[in-house]
Structure 1
Amino acid sequence: MSAAVVEQVVQARLIVSTHRSALLRVTLRYRADDPLAVRMGFPAEYSLDVEPELLDTPQPQPEVEWVFARQLLATGLDLPTGDGDVHVRPALGRRTMVELRAPEGVALLQFDEPELRRFLWRSYLAVPEGQEFSLLDADRALAELLG
């Protein structure tokens, strides 16, 4: 039996400057076999580390994926949170800001908060909050970490 996967495509606004932004589609994913994490997949053309000449090839480029704690996303809907590469905070007008920090730069994204709540609700149907650790496979996680 395969583990449950929750996937939801949402629209985000990439904040470029005070007066400029770009709309993009973001794929949110949650996998019951990795119960502590959520994933955000972005189109390759929005990545700062994809070689420009690769974007001109006819083959679609793989999306750029950020992985971070489901709890960080849940907390960030109501309170500013994050102390590493990912920061999440509520914003005016039922919006949520997600800041992604990498050596190549910082991306600031604005999401509709109800869309993120819907995704989290669906992830809690797959793995209820507080039951994540009962599903962890420590041997598999260690094998993945050590490659």
Structure 2
Amino acid sequence: MSTVIEQAVEARLVAAAPRMASIPATLRYDARDPFAVRMSFPAPATLEGVDVSWTFARELLTAGVSEAVGTGDVRVRPYGYDRTVLEFHALEGTAIVHVRTGELKRFLAETTALVPDGEEYLHVDVDGDLAELLRDAL
């Protein structure tokens, strides 16, 4: 069984440069990092002209499809009947994208089937992560 879920989504860019009506994006979840979701954008959609990925809490995305959440670099909130807004704040600027809520819910359902909500801690290798951290410190 794979520990990684990837799903392509269409994101409608609302505010950022360069201006693009919609862009492909990829949602990624890895059971080895069970608390996190990664959303990646291709180089043409970014200010720097390079691929950009944002990593944020799966819980943030889960809550954000039904209520406004987030106070930091990533904020998520419902928009209308079938869209969810994701805001990405960085020193270079802010990108605001709309994604179909159904696509997000489908992705989240797959992640929950792989790692149920509340059971993330069972998939964390604390000893391995600590050993890697200490190895890098030496």
TM range (shorter): 0.7 to 0.9
Q: For residue 74 of structure 1, give the secondary structure of its aligned residue in structure 2.
A: helix
Q: Structure 1 residues 14 and 82, CA, compared in 2 at 3 Å: closer, same or farther?
A: same
Instruction: Provide the residue aligned with 1:58 in structure 2.
Output: none
> What residue is the counterpart of 2:95 in the other structure?
107
Task: Name the amino acid aligned to 1:95.
Answer: R
- TM-score with structure 1 setting the length: 0.82
The one-letter code matched in structure 2 to 1:87 is R
| Structure 2 segments unaligned to the other structure (5+ residues) | none
Deviation at 1:47, TM superposition (A): 1.7
**What TM-score, normalized to structure 2?**
0.87
Q: Which runs of 4+ in 1 moved over 6 A?
A: none
Structure 1, unmatched stretches of 5+, are 51-60
Q: Does 1:121 align with 2:109?
A: yes
Deviation at 1:120, TM superposition (A): 0.1
Question: Aligned-pair distance for 1:93?
Answer: 2.3
In structure 2, relative to structure 1, the CA distance for the partners of 1:107 and 1:146 (3 Å cut) is: farther
Percentage of pairs with the same residue: 44
Whole-Å separation in 2 of the counterparts to 1:145 and 1:12: 39
CA RMSD of superposed structures (Å) = 2.1
Change (3 A) 1:65 1:146: farther
Q: 1:90 aligns with which of 78, 93, 106?
A: 78
